[in-house]
Each structure stands twice: as C-alpha cells, then as structure tokens.
Structure 1
Amino acid sequence: MSDAHPPRAATDPLTPRARELADAMSAGFPDPALGPVDPAAVREASRAGAGSGPARRLPRVTDRSVPGPAGAPEVPVRIYEPLASPGAAPPVVVFFHGGGWVLCGLDTHDGLCRELAAATGAVVVSVDYRLAPEHRFPSAAEDAYAAASWVAAHAARLGWDPGRLAVAGDSSGGNLAAAVTLMARDRGGPAIAAHLLAYPVLDHRMATESYRTYATGFFHTTAHMRWYWEQYLGRDGDGAHPYASPALACDLAGLPPAVLVLPECDPLRDDALTYVRRLEAAGAAPRVRVWPGTFHGFLGLGGLLPEADQALAQAAYDLRAALGLPDA
C-alpha cells in the first residue's frame, strides 16, 4: 500500500477527492433516517449512480445461467475471461455483488469484475443472486453457494483450475462470500482456496465504535445498514445465524486464507477487524489493508479515486499470493 495520500482537511478524515465523491454519491440517494424508503426507489438511485466509464475489454465475457438451490430458479451469472497464460489453467473467482442484498446486479458491478479479472489473471464468475425483500435470508446465501458449487464442479471441464477457486464480494457480497466459506466447510465442499472481502457486512448487531463514529456523512450510513438488514431478514429472520452474520460463527477454524479491503471511514470497519482477529486466533493469517481517507464502496471508483486503483491492485496481489500464484 502506498504511503502517499492527498492532504486532508483538519476536520475531515476523508481525502478531498473522496469527500467530493462521497457527497456526490449521497445526493439524491434515499435516506431511511428521513422516513420510509421504497426498495424500488433505492434500486433506481443505484442504477442512476452506476459508473458509466469505458469498460475494460477482455477476450471473452459471456452470460449464462447455472442451477440454483433445490426448488429455486436458475441463477444468472456473467463470466469474465482474461488473457490466458500459455499452458496454465487460470484460477477462478466467484464474485458476489454488494448492494445490501436489495439492489445492484451484474451490470452495476460489471466494471469492477472486469478490472478484477484483468488484475488477478483469474476467470471471474459474477453471480446475480435473488434480492430482498422479495427473497429474504437465506435465499441469497443459498444462491451464492449453489453458484460456487457449480463452478467447482465444472471448472476443470471449462479449462479453469479447480484447485484455485476463490470467492469474493463487496459489502453484502462480502457477507455472502464469507457465508459461502462457512457453508462449504460445514457441508463438505466445494473446496474454497481463498476469500476476498471488500468492506464486508459481517454482524447484524451493528454495535461497534465505527458504527457510531461514521454513522452519517460518509455515503453509507448506519441507518442504511439497519434498513438493509430489515429487508434481508424481515420480521422473523435470524440475524445471529452464522450464514447471515459470519462474524458470529462459533468457530472460524478450517476457513481458507482471507484478503480484506477496508476503508477507514466505514461503519462496518470494526466488525471486519474483529473478524480478522478471530481468523488469526483460529490459526489463519489474513491479509488486511485499511485504506486511510476512504469510505464504504470506494473500490468501485476506479479511475475516479486514486486509492480505488491502488486498493484493487493490492487486493489482486494479495489474492494471488493467497492462492499460491506467482506475481503477475
């Protein structure tokens, strides 16, 4: 991680550029603290705020569907295949998008998935899981697990390396990636070699200091997170279930290596750091980077925020190391 960061105003922990972007992203985005929010309004605001820059070109990007959980619909996925190294089967990363389990999809995270594929040299399979509140917990987690299982079962036939299968996600997608690692351990497979979590949602209690310090003013608010949990769990959902709140799992032993990308100014930050400490106590050696002056969602601002480009490059390096791959 670079030690060079733009100067910050004495009263603002965000860099000037991050502040500009956080305020722009917050403008017009529905705020649950001000009154009832319609999920359709949040989805519309998310689509309106999606990046529109030129997409990185890759050799092949294809859409298809894979089998969902028993009795559930098929799960749409988008497969990003980077330039292959001669004679080597590429690793594969199953990616779950963020959006509070309520919004976003394949298109909102298309640019990030393209950059992740190019930076890691891995095939990236982006998963369009079912959204809340129409489909509450554990629908998204079960869709995520089904997609990862399909990738593991078909990787060799598709020319990918089944021994280097990672899961990844940002925000609620990081929650799903962490949940899938637990599900895979508990259910005897598939074999997950690493998990990459960008500012993940890990604990429904929202009780840490960072939830108070960064409750408002940094794009993603504590009120937003509370509303997302309400949509995902409903009235009777079990937020303490480890597949809903992975940081509350009784035992984190036997999980694959972890890479975490964390913003300094994020209500979720401290939950992720607690998860890191628990992984360490369980014998793991997670790679974690806290990026000063940044806010929740910053990784999707490549080309607009220097720290986003730096963080993605560092995360790709750390993920390749966790998978036992040579430097790209």
Structure 2
Amino acid sequence: MSVDAESFQAAFQAAQLDLAAKVEQFNAAEINAEKIDVKDPAVIVQDLAAQTSHLRKLKFRFLEQNAKAKYIRNIVTDIDDAAFVTEEDNQLLDAQAAEKKEQLREAKQTLAEGRQEYRELAPRVEAEYVRLKDAAAKAQDLTQKIIDARLALTRLRQAHPKPHLTISGAEQRLTDQVMEMQELSDQISEAQKNVAGMKGGVKTGTQEVEKLRADRAEAEKAVKAAKVNADDDSLMPLYNQHVASLKLHKSVLDMPNAVQEKENALQLEYVIERQPISIQLAFHPNTRQLADVNVTGLDEQGVDVSEVLGKHTDANDVPGLVAGVLNIARVVAAS
C-alpha cells in the first residue's frame, strides 16, 4: 500500500501538471472571435456538458488520490513526525470549503444568467448575423470579380498596345466609313441604272434581230420560190434587201465583220466603245453542237469570262453566249 502511494506521488510530482498555473492561463487567455468555428448552440451545449463531466471526474480522482496519499503518509510516518489533524483544522477546512462553494455557486449563477441572456439575444442578432454573412459572401464575390476584371484588362492592354484609338479618332473613322459607304452606294445605283439601260438596248437589239431573221426567212422562201438564175433582174431587189438587213444587223450588234474560217468554225468580230472583241466559235463536224469558244479582247482588261463561256457551251446556247460576252464588254467599257 505504501509503495503504491509513494509511486503515485512521485509520478504526480514528476508530471509537473501545475494545475494552478493552468487555471490562471486559461482565465487570462484572450479568445479571438474570428478564429472560432461557429457551431450550432445545441452542439456547443453538448460539448460543454461533456467537458464539465470530464473535469468533474478528474477533480474527484485528484481528491481521491490526494486523500489516499495523505492517509498513507500519516500511517507510515513516525508518530512523532506525523501531522496531527485537529478539530480546528477541520473547521478551518470546512470554512474554506464553504467559502469556495459559495464562490462557485455565485459563479454558476452568473454563468446561468449569462447563458440565459445569450439565449434571449441570439434571436435578435440572428438576422443581423445572416445579413453580415451574406454581405461577406457578396464582398468576396465582388472581390473575385474585380480581380478577374483587372486580369482581363491587363490581357487587353497586352493584346492591344499603344497607341489606343481615342473616342474622337473612332468618331472620325466612323464618319469616313459612312461617307465611303455613301459613295459606294451612289456608284452601285449608277451601275444599276447603266445595266438597266443596257438591258433595254439589248432587248431592243434582240427584237430587231428577230425581225431581221424573219425577214431573212421570208427572203429565202422568196428566192426558193422564184427559182431564177443569178442574171435575173428580179433577184437584185431581194439581194439588196438581204444585204441591207445584214448590215443593219451588224450595226445593231456592233459587229463589223463575220468570217467563216473553216467548215465548222466561225469568227465574230465586234467593236464595243472602240474596243475590238473577237469571238471564235468551233462546232463539232456535221452538227450544230458547240465544241469550243475562244474570246479575245477582254483579257487585256483583266476580265474573266470563263464562267459565262462554260455555262453557255454546256447548254449549246450560242445567242446567249454572244449576248453574255457583249454585256460584260459593255459594262467594262462603261466603267
């Protein structure tokens, strides 16, 4: 028994618990409210109850072990050296215990009043707490947005170095672009008017050509019906009329000359605004199928008519091909 008490006392002293200093340190410690993890009040009450129960167990064990140590020390010590406990000592201890109990009761009462006050104030500050919490979240969000905006602005400045376009410079550029667009619109309107006039002229020329074709057909029928030789004087008026029709047809189409180079090849020569245009037509032998077309006179002006040639060649549309080439030549000459 004595060995256990002495070993416990030695272990207790070697532990250097210094409970009094720990109590003073705990009471003097400052609590930083910002570092406290706010929990549910019910959870805090449970934690407090658990800590209180644990401290009570520690206190009871300490008192128990301390009493055992004193009792054993008094038993094993010589009677001459033993410390006697008198009635006055017990009364003094009872008075000190009563005083400490009274202090403890007052502290508990103060703590209970504080807890009750906290419970009453909690609903009042809850709305303000929620508002401040939302404001803090909003402030954090705005801070992140400001950082992102600054980063985006920095990237824009790096991507678009100085000199930057000023407001006055941008307005001047806008005015110049508006004027340029207006000039282009006027040019488009003028070109559309010219195209409309050319279309009217082409339509009139086409009607005249159709009329001349009809006259030519009538003349051919008259020649076949007459069945006269070349010396017959009655053929001369028809010949002259046919020649005059051909001249009129050439003048309408600006075609001063038409040459048949081969049996299946025909060269048409036109003059558009003093610009000679030559169209060479090649047909498949013994057919009226258009085989190849070659246009000269527009290449020098940088005009590409390959699309028109390919379209009408595939369709075997000689009149449409000639009309398309001449329309392009007239538009180029007018511009």
- TM category, shorter: under 0.3
The normalised TM-score by structure 1 is 0.19
Q: Which has the higher contact order (CA 8 A, sep 6+)?
A: 1
Bigger radius of gyration: 2
Structure with greater helix percent: 2
Give the TM-score, by structure 2 length. Answer: 0.19
